[in-house]
Amino acid sequence: MLDDLAAHSHSGEAFADRLPYVLDLLAGVRRQLDAAVKECGHLSGWWKDQWTPERKALSELRNAQLKRLETSEAPRSQTRTNVPAGEWRGHRVSEGDTVSWIEWYFVDGRYEGQPVLSVLAGALDDLRGLIDEVRIRLHAEGVTT
């Protein structure tokens, strides 16, 4: 869904409609991990330490978007002049062309001023690492995943 979100970055409405869903999917993975860890009481202390400020901020973004219908992102027009010949964001360009695109940024909170897609890609990578760590710890406890 992150790829789908990126594909709609040129459209304000489509991007804004998809962002809460992506945030909810990321939170859903964390809820599933939480349920798996709760089955193994020995990991509760470690698990509490995993609730980092970054993860809390993503959860707050999700709640703001889905529960309070708040907007936390805004588009910015970007332009680059005199680009080299080749491909630019999936389009052929000629030497010296000027290209324009829209990039979405968070406008408040912990991620203010940061590109939405970069933050979400980092969150996805973070979750992948967390999933791996939970599997290792559960396996060490004799729980199969």
Domain ranges of the chain: 2-140
pLDDT: is 68 or 139 the higher one? Answer: 68
- Cα dihedral 97, 101, 107, 112 sign: negative
Mean pLDDT on 39-67: 86
Query: Taking the CA of residue 22 as centre, how many other CA atoms within 13 Å lie in the half-sphere pointing to its CB?
Result: 20
With beta carbons less than 8 A apart as the criterion, state whether 97 and 66 touch: no
134/102 Cα distance (integer angstroms)? 37
Mean pLDDT on 78-93: 83
Q: What pLDDT shows up at residue 28?
A: 92
Q: What pLDDT shows up at residue 144?
A: 60
Mean pLDDT on 5-20: 85
Other Cβ atoms closer than 10 A to 68 = 7
65/72 Cα distance (integer angstroms)? 7
Give this prediction's pTM: 0.78
pLDDT grade for 27, boundaries at 50, 70 and 90: very high
Mean pLDDT on 77-88: 84
